[in-house]
Structure 1
Amino acid sequence: MSYRQSDRERLVAKNSRIEWTTHTFNPWWGCVKVSPACKHCYAESWAKRVGKDVWGIGAERRFFGDKHWAEPLRWNTAAAAEGERPRVFCASMADVFEDRRDLDQWRDRLWGLIAATPNLDWLLLTKRPDLVSRLTPWGDDWPSNVWIGTTVEDQDWADERLPELAVLPAAVRFISAEPLLGPVDLGRWAHAIDWVITGGESGPKARPTSPSWFRSLLNQCMAADIPFHFKQWGDWAPGQGINLAKARAAPAEDGTTMLRVGKKVAGRHFDGITWDGLPRSRSA
């Protein structure tokens, strides 16, 4: 069944530490926070750690030169030679659909790069799905190597963003329910979703996720035959079976005792299974 990933489908990440992608490409750095999932943004923290003040409405974005933009061309050539279809997450340090005119020329360059790399599947994840149609050049005829996703951290944001996602004619439509901050019912939009990625929050201010929220999403995916990817527990994991007497404990909203053990110890097994589902393209 497609909600589990076979060994044959797995691609080893070559240029990314993110479990669900092969490569990561950033056309620029910087963004503006728009919803609760942004509160403890890892990208903002990382940018500040390396001395780049690129967050907020008034901040300048960080741009890159030709050498950076040539990397996907090399990935594309290697993919053609190897007979693979690497996934490229674009962008981990920005939102491609942030509505700023100084980004338009860089978006145009990105659309050209996507056209020049037909052996790569480009994963565009946004918290602004309402702006996608206006800021893309493809109308109703999208390239077959473009996947579009949106973040749905709780039901309020699922209700707002999923109707916008559902009408986009991408080869794959997906959601990132990470960090999952509340239960999510996919409801009448399940038919329009090709992939669900979910996980808990990591970082010094991480909020614990209720395990029952993950289980509900998994059950919905199994019922609708949607591939399911459990990325991580994050910094908090269920207390059962973890022998760490000094770990900080906190109750999740569903009553589960969660322990702050760190992302590495918490791992990414759910019910003893590594869920690495991958979608089927609508254009295949």
Structure 2
Amino acid sequence: MAKNSKIEWTTHTFNPWWGCVKMSPACKFCYAESWAKRLGEPVWGLHADRRFFGERHWAEPLQWNRTALATGQRARVFCASMADVFEDRVDLDPERERLWQLITETPALDWLLLTKRPDRVRSCTPWRDEFPKNVWLGTTTENQEWADRRLPALADIPAAVRFISAEPLLGPLSLKGWTDSIDWVITGGESGPKARPSSPSWFRSLLNECMTADIPFHFKQWGDWAPGQGINLAKARSAAADDGTTMLRIGKKAAGRILDGMTWDGLPRIITA
């Protein structure tokens, strides 16, 4: 997971380290934890060591920045898919300091910092009330409860772009009261062997709110479960979503990412000065 990421809403992925600890329902079947275990990296949990990387790894974003400058095309860097850069561990402080310096050295890259700990952002970063223009700050909001917990902290951060990742979306979610503080919404269903089905009405409601408030909307995937209407798979496992829709487990690839006949690839306005 580095150059040319397969994640639809980013260009590259950069991990300053691997490992984390679970925080909320979205973490229950964490893909990153499963991936690390398959590779023999026991880096998950409160007392587990984290996996760190060497000079070659840290040099990659510098090359991406040179390429972006040469081509005139900015690149988006998701940081971090295998960790949370705001995890509450003092042994991560040196790596964090190195990351902040790297971000300032790569102005042609937009750094997408996605966290489940937005309350720790101010204490972990050196930027206080003036964040670099290439920092996009996001938080996970898998349902209304966790949106209400995390959005106040996100709204308080003066990042150039503030976004939410409602993926996996595990319940209905309204942005009422927060639309002026959100510049981008990413959402999608859960994938993996234990994926939980999302209700299509949750996505449609969120889409309608975004359209009303002129917030770019990105529907990443249905995940392993997709609405059953029009799918002729007699052997597919079925389940009723919370809104009553029959969902079929057909796998992420077959389920695709079409919502109401369209792909939704919204992106926020890029601020470079």
Counterpart in the other structure of 1:6: none
Instruction: In structure 2, list runs of 5 or more residues that go unmatched.
Output: none
Match of 2:127 among 124, 135, 138: 138
What secondary structure does 1:269 align onto?
A: coil
What secondary structure does 1:273 align onto?
A: coil
User: Does structure 1 residue 117 correspond to structure 2 residue 106?
Assistant: yes
Query: Map of 1:167-182 to 2, 5 A cutoff?
Result: 167-182=156-171
Instruction: In structure 1, list runs of 5 or more residues that go unmatched.
Output: 1-12
Match of 2:89 among 100, 120, 127: 100
Displacement of 1:282 after TM fit?
5.8
Instruction: Name the CA distance, whole Å, in 2 between partners of 1:242 and 1:83.
Output: 43
Determine if contact 1:166/1:193 at 8 Å carries over to the other structure. yes
Query: Map of 1:3-42 to 2, 5 A cutoff?
Result: 15-42=4-31
Q: TM-score, normalised by structure 1?
A: 0.94
User: Does structure 1 residue 63 correspond to structure 2 residue 44?
Assistant: no
CA RMSD of aligned residues (A): 1.0
Determine if contact 1:233/1:268 at 8 Å carries over to the other structure. yes
Counterpart in the other structure of 2:71: 82
Displacement of 1:281 after TM fit?
3.9
Instruction: Name the CA distance, whole Å, in 2 between partners of 1:14 and 1:98.
Output: 24
After TM superposition, where is structure 1 displaced by more than 3 Å over at least 4 residues in a row? 281-284
Counterpart in the other structure of 2:186: 197
Match of 1:248 among 229, 232, 237: 237
Instruction: Name the CA distance, whole Å, in 2 between partners of 1:155 and 1:167.
Output: 19
Displacement of 1:272 after TM fit?
1.1
What secondary structure does 1:139 align onto?
A: coil
Amino acid corresponding to residue 79 of structure 2 in structure 1: C
Determine if contact 1:172/1:194 at 8 Å carries over to the other structure. yes
Instruction: Name the CA distance, whole Å, in 2 between partners of 1:232 and 1:182.
Output: 16
- Residues 282 and 67 of structure 1, relative CA distance in 2, 3 Å threshold: closer
The C-alpha deviation readout for 1:231-253, integer Å capped at 9, x for no partner, is 00000000011111100000000
The C-alpha deviation readout for 1:3-56, integer Å capped at 9, x for no partner, is xxxxxxxxxx95211000000000000000000000000000000000000000
Determine if contact 2:134/2:271 at 8 Å carries over to the other structure. no
Instruction: Name the CA distance, whole Å, in 2 between partners of 1:96 and 1:264.
Output: 30
The C-alpha deviation readout for 1:67-96, integer Å capped at 9, x for no partner, is 000000000000001101100000000000
The C-alpha deviation readout for 1:127-166, integer Å capped at 9, x for no partner, is 0000000000001011000000000000000000001100
Displacement of 1:176 after TM fit?
0.1
Counterpart in the other structure of 1:5: none
User: Does structure 1 residue 235 correspond to structure 2 residue 224?
Assistant: yes
Determine if contact 2:3/2:13 at 8 Å carries over to the other structure. no
Amino acid corresponding to residue 136 of structure 2 in structure 1: W
Instruction: Name the CA distance, whole Å, in 2 between partners of 1:14 and 1:212.
Output: 35
Determine if contact 1:176/1:196 at 8 Å carries over to the other structure. yes
User: Does structure 1 residue 162 correspond to structure 2 residue 151?
Assistant: yes
- Residues matched between the structures, number: 272
Percent identity (aligned):
77
Amino acid corresponding to residue 16 of structure 1 in structure 2: S
Counterpart in the other structure of 1:278: 267
Instruction: Name the CA distance, whole Å, in 1 between partners of 2:218 and 2:176.
Output: 19
Amino acid corresponding to residue 98 of structure 1 in structure 2: E
The C-alpha deviation readout for 1:89-129, integer Å capped at 9, x for no partner, is 00000000001000000000000100110000000000000
User: Does structure 1 residue 263 correspond to structure 2 residue 252?
Assistant: yes
Determine if contact 1:178/1:201 at 8 Å carries over to the other structure. yes
Q: TM-score, normalised by structure 2?
A: 0.98
Determine if contact 2:186/2:220 at 8 Å carries over to the other structure. yes
- Residues 283 and 223 of structure 1, relative CA distance in 2, 3 Å threshold: farther
Amino acid corresponding to residue 267 of structure 1 in structure 2: G
